[in-house]
Structure 1
Amino acid sequence: MFATGIECSYPTLEGGRWRMDQMAACGHYRHWRTDLELVQDLGLRYLRYGPPLHLIHQGPGRYDWAFLDEVSAEMQQLGIVPIMDLCHFGLPDWLQNFQNPEVPHALAEYARAFARRYARVRFYTPVNEMYVCAKLSALEGLWNEQCRDEHAFVTAVRHLAKASVLMMQAIATERPDAVFVNSESGEFYQPCCPDSEIRRIAGFENERRFLPLDLLYARAVNEDMRAYLGRHGMPPEEYAWFMAQDVRRRAILGVDYYEWNEKLIDSQGHPQALGELFGWYAIAGQYYERYRRPMMHTETNRLDAREGPRWLWRQWHNVQLIRRAGVPVVGFTWYSLTDQVDWDIALREALGNVNPVGLFDLNRDPRVVGLAYKHLIGLFASELGQDPSLEIALNEARKLAVARKETFHA
């Protein structure tokens, strides 16, 4: 599945007093018809699309579908297959933030109503980048609840992971053949030196990056992480509930990668951006070894537009290499369709900085990377095929597991 996406983040800032809505900042609400036509012009069938949750879900049982009805009808007319991204870094005002224990059930109700209304939609990302959302909202104090403590982080992780489980279950009741693309940021922490404390910090962070996915996929965490969860508010019965769920059967693991995803733990114990050291191939391989799911490269871009085409091809060669190694990768995504605004400062302020990361600029004129992606798709789409069925990926994964004499959980 060759794909792109519409940047759709909508976190709140300053105690919820205002919202950074990227669909507004990037002009999608005004130019959505043009944007969909650009997807088609690129030769793409698949589009990661995040309907504006904060505008649609107006209260318990109350929804405003007007905008999305039009968009959905146009997608169908153009033959675009959406991967619907139901929660992307923010919540409606009435739900406040990710410390609210009502969030998981409210989002499950939304997911069920969504799947019932848009019955033709098969692909879903229930919650985008749970780890990043929890970290930036509850540990680094940038978005939504703007907390800076471990208890708040664990609370956000619990609610995000539970929401994902309940949303997947709710959607499956309406569409049993639904496919879930669980998009997560591919992170890695490297210790700067052999100091035992620096190594301990890096080791902890390298376990913590997996925490939301461990809960989602019912993978038991190690003893240290289990103790960490207990110290910071997760009751034993809640952990047991996660371990008793099974939503993996129709799940693709999406691993996003940017040049800041790899971090060095410096001599003071602080993470510093490391740049591309090991790359998507190595880091995605770590996620595959842990979860054994069919995979997709679900996000990448480069802030320097001049480097965009080189970065595109490097990411694509990573995908080719890992596929040759036997890992079932079923999709690749340049994110996003258009340039973004203020992502260079992680949306912490509304400065209006245009980040030239798109396949098109905000005038909807093509960037060089957009032309390069269209060329790449033309070269490889017919060779690889574009088939929306998860069954092909599952069969690939089963064959690999048999070859390695491993148990494959499908």
Structure 2
Amino acid sequence: MITPAPLFQSFFLAGFECSTHRNMSRRRLDMIASTRHDLLALEDYCQLAEHGIRTARDGLRWHLIETSPGRYDWNSLLPMLRAAEATRTQVMWDLCHYGWPDDLDAFSPAFVDRFARFSAAFARLHVEETGRAPFACPINEMSFIAFSGGDMARSSPHATGRGMDLKRNLIRAAAAATRAVREVAPGARFAAIDPVIHIVPRHPGEAAEVRAHNASQWQAWDMLAGREAPELGGAEDLLDVVGVNYYWNNQWLNHAEPLSVFDAARYRPFRELLAETAARYAPRRIFVAETSIEGAPRPTWLRYVTEEALAASQLGVQVEGVCLYPVISHFGWDEDRYCENGLFELTPLHGRRQVFRPLAEELARLQGQVAARGTGGGRAAAG
């Protein structure tokens, strides 16, 4: 059996926080600008390479690009795209990371049409600039957007009780965008990224509710693949690469606190979640698209996630990579609290990000461990 080439240039990826939604107070966020990544993209990509990271997740700011319907101003993207090319950094571009232009209704057919045209325009630009088809995530975390923005009014579009309506329209948009990009750039690759979770009932009476909530984590992927609600336009060939997001609080007691990784009776090893995902969507390739924790536990958490990903390989799961997301610490979405969760700290010193050394040292150790196993993109790291 021929082993496929690694999906990524390095097993470890870096994710630049690129959210552009309106937060609870309806204030527009621009995390690329607030972390100064728009000004320091070249330096940021170079600094990643110093740590053996040659692949990144980054994002388009749709609300800045489509300044009026059908008119595209690429000035917010081109410096980042050209910096990636100059440093030979492989980038997976998020086309919609929670935010969209203010004149668009996320529940409307116009949203689907506009997003497909926008995505195709980006694909043309990418081919013109690089000579290659793009690697894109059309809409990041459709399940989370549906929950946060469709049911809880915590983010755009600030609705309640309409989570399913929103999810269905996001699926329509993602499917239409994937097809539109493929028409322009047939070799394009796509990641469908959502969280994996595990909820535990507090008492037997919650068992049915919890089963339904746990099962809902598969719904966006199933819809995109056309397995559920095929009228939305999904099809098996539209689900390409599966990205799973996994944070320290992705397992919790129903309607209560997060579970501790040391709670052996109730906490489910991450390797099992990876294996379940891989089995459900085989033979697609999977990767950990986001993971982090705040503060001093950063190295310990990365070690846990990475070693669980390697352990999954013993179960027959080829995990293509692990993305440190976000790679730059930042201020929170809804308040000014500093979130210390990155490999790099927010404020640069003499044009360079300050490095959180304990995480950098653990990353280097884990890179050696990955290389020794010959796992995923580690076979092509730092090339």
Q: Same fold (TM over 0.5)?
A: yes
Is residue 2:350 matched to residue 1:360?
no
How far, CA to CA, are the matches of 2:273 and 2:34 in structure 1?
A: 32
- State the partner residue of 1:236: none
Q: TM-score, normalised by structure 1?
A: 0.81
Matches of 1:87 and 1:388, distance apart in 2? 31
Match of 1:406 in 2: none
Q: Percent of counterpart pairs with the same letter? A: 25
Q: Is the contact between residue 58 and residue 94 of structure 1 (CA under 8 Å) also seen in structure 2?
A: no
Match runs of 1:95-134 below 5 Å: 95-96=104-105, 98-119=106-127, 120-134=132-146
Letter in 2 for 1:137: G
Corresponding residue of 2:253:
264
Residues in 2 aligned to 1:103 and 1:357: alpha-carbon distance in whole angstroms: 33
Q: Structure 1 residues 218, 41: closer, same or farther in 2, change over 3 A?
A: same
Q: Please, which moves more after superposition, 366-375 or 331-340?
A: 366-375
Q: 2:198: which partner in 1? A: 188
Aligned equivalents of 1:117 and 1:218: distance in 2? 29
Cα pair 2:175 2:234 within 8 Å, conserved? no
Partner of 1:79: 88
Residues 1:33 and 2:22 are matched in the alignment: no
| Secondary structure in structure 2 of the residue aligned to 1:118 | helix
On the 8 A contact 1:49/1:83 being kept in 2, the answer is yes
Secondary structure, counterpart of 2:182 in structure 1:
helix
Alignment of structure 1 residues 53-202 onto 2, 5 Å = 53-96=62-105, 98-119=106-127, 120-149=132-161, 152-195=162-205, 198-202=206-210
Q: Any conservation in 2 of the 1:261–1:275 contact (CA below 8 Å)?
A: no
Q: Distance in 2 between matches of 1:332 and 1:307?
A: 17
Cα offset, 1:271, TM superposition: 5.1
Is 1:13 aligned with 2:23? yes
AA of the residue aligned to 2:293: R
Partner secondary structure for residue 140 of structure 2: coil
1:192 alignment partner, SS class: coil
Unaligned runs of 5+ in 2: 1-7, 262-266, 348-352
Say whether residues 1:211 and 2:219 are aligned partners: yes
Answer yes or no: is the 8 Å Cα contact 1:358–1:370 preserved in 2. no
- After superposition, residues 297-312 of structure 1 pair within 5 angstroms as 297-303=288-294, 305-312=295-302
SS state at 1:125 partner: strand
1:329 correspondence with 2:341: no
Q: Is the 8 A contact 2:329 2:339 kept in 1?
A: yes
Match of 2:59 in 1: 50
Displacement, 1:113?
Answer: 0.6
Conservation of the 8 A alpha-carbon contact between 2:331 and 2:338: yes
* Shift, 1:380, TM fit: 2.8
Shift of 1:126: 0.8
What's the CA shift for 1:376?
2.5
* CA RMSD of superposed structures (Å): 2.1
- What are the superposed Cα offsets for residues 24-59 of structure 1, whole Å, 9 maximum, x if unpaired? 222222322221221221111111011212211223
Q: 1:319 Cα deviation (Å)?
A: 0.7
Instruction: Flag the 1:286–1:243 CA change in 2: closer, same or farther, 3 A.
Output: farther
1:254 is matched with which residue: 239, 243, 256?
A: 243
**2:259 paired with 1:274:** yes
Unaligned runs of 5+ in 1: 221-238, 390-410
Asked whether the equivalents of residues 172 and 233 of structure 2 are also in contact (C-alpha less than 8 Å), the reply is no
Aligned structure 1 segments of 4 or more residues deviating by more than 6 angstroms? none
Contact 2:193-2:242 within 8 A present in 1 as well: yes
Following superposition, the deviation at residue 248 of structure 1 comes to: 4.0
Aligned-residue offset at 1:290: 2.2
Q: Residue 201 of structure 1: CA displacement?
A: 0.9
Q: Residue 369 of structure 1 aligns with which residue?
A: 359
Amino acid aligned to 2:321: G
TM-score by length of 2: 0.86
> Cα–Cα, structure 1 residues 57 and 325, in superposed 2: closer, same or farther, change >3 Å?
same
Instruction: Kindly state the Cα deviation for residue 286 of structure 1 after the two structures are TM-superposed.
Output: 2.5
Name the counterpart of 1:3. Answer: 13
TM superposition shift of 1:139: 1.0
C-alpha separation in 2, matches of 1:8 and 1:388: 28
For residues 279 and 19 of structure 1, what CA distance do their matches in structure 2 show? 37
